[in-house]
Structures are given as structure tokens and as C-alpha cells.
Amino acid sequence: MNLDFKGRVAIVTGAGGGLGRQHALALAARGAKVVVNDLGGARDGSGGSLSAAESVVAEIRSAGGEAIANGASVTDFEAVQAMVQQAVDTWGRVDILVNNAGILRDKSFAKMEIADFRTVVDVHLMGAVHCCKAVWPHMTEQKYGRILMTTSSSGLYGNFGQSNYGAAKLALVGLMQTLALEGAKNNIHVNSLAPTAATRMTEGLMPEAVLAALKPEAVVPAMLVLVSEGAPTRTTLCAGAGSVEAAHITLTQGAWIGLDANAPETLAANLRQVLARAGDMVPESGAAQGSQEVTRALAQLGGR
């Protein structure tokens, strides 16, 4: 696997600090030309300033790399399109998109305002949709692209007080699944990364000793692999504190319940078998679920 990014052009959103900054610095250090995007807002998404992005650009340039700053909000599709055009006008192409921009507005679901739910979904999910949509025609034309979604354990497994964040983060995995299928013929690989890192987003959520062990730099190797020329596709890696794991959405072997009036009772009696993990699989696409169900149904009904 080649982890040399010379000649590649990367866009990293939310790259003015924390994990995004580390992603931008690492890509630039390995030869990529980088658009450092950051709205410069607070953790809840309010405010805005280009100074954070410009600071990271200065770091990259001082180390001998190439970078430009961009302050577009990922929630503004026209601004995102202009950002992608800025990359193309400057360097002639765009090869890598790291969707990293995000905000937090944590509260228990009972206390959460709908506006706070919608805003978090707009930034994380629609922000990634906007960026993917803007780079897609360029990647399709050049028949090369690497896109990374930043998901989260809160989306994969849930976390108290983060219903908005968790919903948006798992939605990104669903977006990855389909974009990876649609992009395959044009060598566009789409993956997801669930980081555990001490950043502005996690301040106050964990003890200081734990945060000290979770340096953002520890997540970077997984990012580099997932956007490299030899990257897999439809892969979700989890990374933090020096460890890397893979997360999968699997389908169990299940059981045939039938269609008669007693089907609910039959399901209740066989629920343990339906939930059993032995022999579970990672489907190649959503069609696998229906295929398994129809195949089993035909076998059962054909035997009568």
C-alpha cells in the first residue's frame, strides 16, 4: 500500500484545529496539496473566522508544503462548490475529501430542542453530502477519488445525550455504503473513520488522564490508509490511543417464520435463533437481505 501522496490534492473540512488539523498536516507532510477548510466557529457552530485555517496553512507552508485556506460553511452548498472549484483552479484536480467538520449540541433527547437536532444533522450529514456532491463530478471525470466520512462510536453504538450527533454519524455510514457502490466503476473509494481523540469536541466529556492518552495524532494512521491509493472501500475503522479496530454492520442467518396468523408467536419463540451471531455476514449490498429472505422462503414453500 502506497502512503505517498505526492501529486494528490486533498480537501479537509474542519481542519483549523484538533483532528482535522492533524489530518491536514499529515497529508501535507506526505506530499499532498491541501485545502484547509474551517468555518472557525465555536464548538456549537456559532461564530466564524478564517484565522484558524490560515494558521494551519502557515504551518504547512513553513514545513515546505502547499496549502490554501478556505472558510466555507459545509452547510452552504454554493460555498462548498466554490471551495472545490478553488482547489481545481489552484491545482487542477481534487483527489481526496476528508469530511471532518462537526459541532456538538449535547442534551438528553427529552430536553433537546428540535433546532439543535436539525443543526447537528445539517452540519455532519448534509455538510458531508454537500462536499461529496461537489467533488463527485471531478472524481468521476478523472476516474479517481478517495472520500472519508468521520463517523463516531456514538453513531455506531449510541451515547447518552447525543441523539442528534449519533443519528447524523450513523447516517454517514449509510451514505458511505451507497457512494462506495456507485463510485466503484470510477475508482472512487469511500470509507468511514470513527475516532476517539482528545479535541475541542471532547473537552469536559472525559477525565483529564484519559484525554491525555487520546492524542489526535493516534487517529491519523487510519485516515492515511483509508484515503490512500491502495485504500479499501466500504470500510469502517475505529481508532484511538494507538489501537485500530473495524466495525461492521452484519446480517445474521435468521430464521424462516412464515406468513400464517401465528407468525408473531413463531417469531417470539424463535427470537433467540434470529439474534444468534453464529454465521453472520457482511452483505455486499442491501439486496443481500432480500435475497436471503426470498431464497429461504422459496425453499420452505417449495418443500410443501
Instruction: Establish how many alpha carbons lie within 13 A of residue 226's alpha carbon, considering only the half-sphere containing its beta carbon.
Output: 30
Report the C-alpha gap between 179 and 191 in whole angstroms.
Answer: 9
Rounded to an integer, the average pLDDT of 37-51 is: 73
Same domain, 180 and 222: yes
The pLDDT value recorded for residue 42 is 60
Q: 76-90, 162-176, 202-216, 284-298: lowest mean pLDDT where?
A: 202-216
pLDDT at 30 > cutoff 80: yes
Please state at what angle helix 18-29 crosses helix 51-62, rounded to 10 degrees: 30
Greater pLDDT, 47 or 16: 16
Q: Cell for 167? A: 443519528
User: Which tens digits make up the pLDDT trace of 122-139?
Assistant: 999 999 999 999 999 999
For residues 223 and 75, membership in a common domain is answered with yes
Q: Which class for 112: exposed (0-12), middle (13-18), buried (19 or more C-beta within 10 A)? A: middle
How many domains does the chain divide into? 2
Instruction: Tell whether the model's pLDDT for residue 221 goes beyond 80.
Output: yes
- Among 5, 117, 136, 165, the one annotated catalytic: 165
| DSSP single-letter state for residue 92 | S
Q: Output the pLDDT for position 199.
A: 60
User: For residue 190, what is the enclosing H or E element?
Assistant: strand 188-195
Cell readout for 88 is 481545481
The average pLDDT across 281-301 equals 93
> Do 277 and 225 share a structural domain?
no
Average pLDDT rounded to a whole number, residues 264-287: 97
Segment holding 189, helix H or strand E = strand 188-195
Asked if residue 227 and residue 101 are part of one domain, the reply reads: yes
Query: For residue 194, what are the β-bridge partners?
Result: 238
Residues 73 and 29 reside in one and the same domain: yes
- State whether 64 and 149 are in the same domain: yes
Question: pLDDT tier at 213 (50, 70, 90 boundaries)?
Answer: confident
Q: Is 192 a member of any domain?
A: yes
Task: Tell me, yes or no, if 165 is annotated catalytic.
Answer: yes
Residue 241 included in any domain: yes
Q: Is the pTM of this model over 0.75?
A: yes
Residue 44: per-residue pLDDT: 56
Residue 257 falls inside a structural domain = no
Average model confidence (pLDDT) across the chain: 94
pLDDT of the residue at 201 = 57
Whether 179 has a pLDDT exceeding 70, the answer reads yes
Residue 271 belongs to a domain: yes
pLDDT of residue 51 exceeding 70 = yes
**Pairing state between β 96-99 and 9-12:** parallel
- Please indicate, yes or no, if residue 3 is contained in any of the structural domains: no
CA distances from 176 to 111, 160, 277 (A): 31, 25, 24
Mean pLDDT for the stretch of residues 252-256: 97
The reply to whether 163 and 285 lie within a common domain is no
In this prediction, residue 281 carries a pLDDT of: 97
Residues 119 and 182 in one domain: yes
d(CA 15, CA 23): 7
Residue 208, pLDDT > 90, answer no
Sign of the torsion angle spanned by Cα atoms 265, 267, 268, 273: positive
Cβ–Cβ under 8 Å, residues 138 and 88: yes
* Confidence class for position 48, pLDDT limits 50, 70, 90: low
Distance CA 30, CA 120 (A): 32
Closest CA to 10 of 134, 97, 72, 101: 97
Flag whether 1 is in a domain. Answer: no
Question: In the structure, what pLDDT confidence band is assigned to residue 207 with cuts at 50, 70 and 90?
Answer: confident
Strand 243-247 relative to strand 236-240, pairing: antiparallel
Residue 303 has pLDDT above 90, yes or no: no
**Inside any domain, residue 255:** no
- Judged by DSSP in three states, 112 sits in coil
For residue 148, list its beta bridge partners: 98, 191
Cell of 128: 458531508
Evaluate whether 219 touches 179 at the Cβ level (below 8 Å): no
**Domain range for residue 31?**
9-247
Same domain (yes/no): 285, 229: no
CB contact at 8 A, 74 and 120: no
241 & 268 share domain:
no
> What are residue 145's phi and psi, to 5 degrees?
-170, 145
State how far the Cα of 238 lies from the Cα of 53, in Å rounded to an integer: 26
Distant-in-sequence, close-in-space partners of 59: CB < 8 Å, separation ≥ 6: 25
- Is the same domain home to 124 and 41? yes
Residue 252, in any domain of the structure = no
Q: At 206, which CATH number?
A: 3.40.50.720
pLDDT at 67 over 90: yes
Q: Do 213 and 85 reside in the same domain of the chain? A: yes
Provide the pLDDT for residue 171. 98
- Least reliable range by pLDDT among 9-18, 93-102, 107-116, 199-208: 199-208
3-state secondary structure of 171: helix
